[in-house]
Amino acid sequence: MMYVVLSIVASLLIVIIFKLLQKFGVNTFQTIVVNYMVAFGFGIIANQNSMGVADVVASEWFWGSVIVGAMFIGLFTLMAWTTQKNGLSVVSVASKMSVVIPIIAGIFLYQESAGYQKLIGIVLALLSVYLVSVKSKTSVNFKKNLAWPLLLFFGSGISDTYINHLQSTSISEENVILFSSCVFGFAGVIGIIILSISKLRNDIQLDPKSLIGGLVLGLANYASLYFIIKSLQVPQMESSTFFTINNVAIVMLSTLIGLWAFKEHLTKKNWMGIGLALIAIYLVTFA
């Protein structure tokens, strides 16, 4: 359970950092790119595996790390587009509700337990995520530009599911750090290519503050992926249980942090979602 708690803490740090980036007007995409390279460098320093480059390329998980890295940078870009087309609430709901995909995959593909108590907890968890994620009193318009939130929903869910598949089939305990480093390295390289093209076209101005933001975010991001994989590797920890607890706890706690630290307004729906989240976590944890 320790790894689950640490993965939640690391993910909460990411949420807080993003809120601070927005508050201080730091370029988010540039910070994301720097963050990936920082996470890659930190992983390489922390890695104690003696595998050479040829061994890494020949490993079972290598191309998986390339795909996950591309997914990471692609999902961030997709989130930005969806925010522009549909608004922030739609992005929040679509990305967080996507947890249903790895949950279903865990139950049907990996024959994980699905008793009544657990299923009720999962349903309450999904309902709580929706209620907590809708931060305004206005209705969330999913029908407008439906393709973007759908792509974000399936992309986020498939990314989590694929990471779970890799850790269960090809990532050994001693290769977690190296795999995580490769994921961030490839995401960073793709991000640098995008930034370089934008700079050549004079579409962007480099933001020095993104270096500081990327440094802090990179450490939190690396810790988040590392502890997610370590949590999934714990014996008796089912992915459907982990993703339910992890996602709901992050949504609930980040909302409470927003209320306390950033003076955000919570609607009645948000408070109902927080209450349901507590019930869902209890039901799934002790199922």
Residue 32, pLDDT score? 93
Q: Is the pLDDT of residue 201 over 90?
A: no
Report yes or no: 281 and 120 within 8 Å, Cβ to Cβ. Answer: no
**In terms of pLDDT, which residue wins out, 12 or 263?**
12
Report yes or no: 229 and 171 within 8 Å, Cβ to Cβ: yes
pLDDT value of residue 158: 96
Q: Mark residue 87 as left, alpha or beta (left: phi above 0; alpha: psi -120 to 50; beta: remaining).
A: left
Q: 159: which 2 tokens?
A: 């990314």
Read off the pLDDT of each residue in 9-18 and give the average, rounded to a whole number.
Answer: 92
pTM summary value: 0.90
SS (H, E, C) 128-159: HHHHHHCCCCCCCCCCCCCHHHHHHHHHHHHH
Please check the confidence at residue 203 and state whether its pLDDT lies above 80.
no
Task: Give the mean pLDDT of 18-38.
Answer: 90
Over residues 88-139, the pLDDT tens digits come to 677 878 888 899 999 999 999 889 998 999 999 999 999 999 888 876 655 5
pLDDT surpassing 90 at residue 233: yes
Rounded to whole angstroms, how far apart are CA atoms 105 and 181?
Answer: 26
Q: Between 140 and 24, where is the model more confident?
A: 24
Q: Which residue has the tokens 């079972």?
A: 60
pLDDT(140) > 70 = no
208's enclosing H/E stretch is none
pLDDT value at residue 220:
95
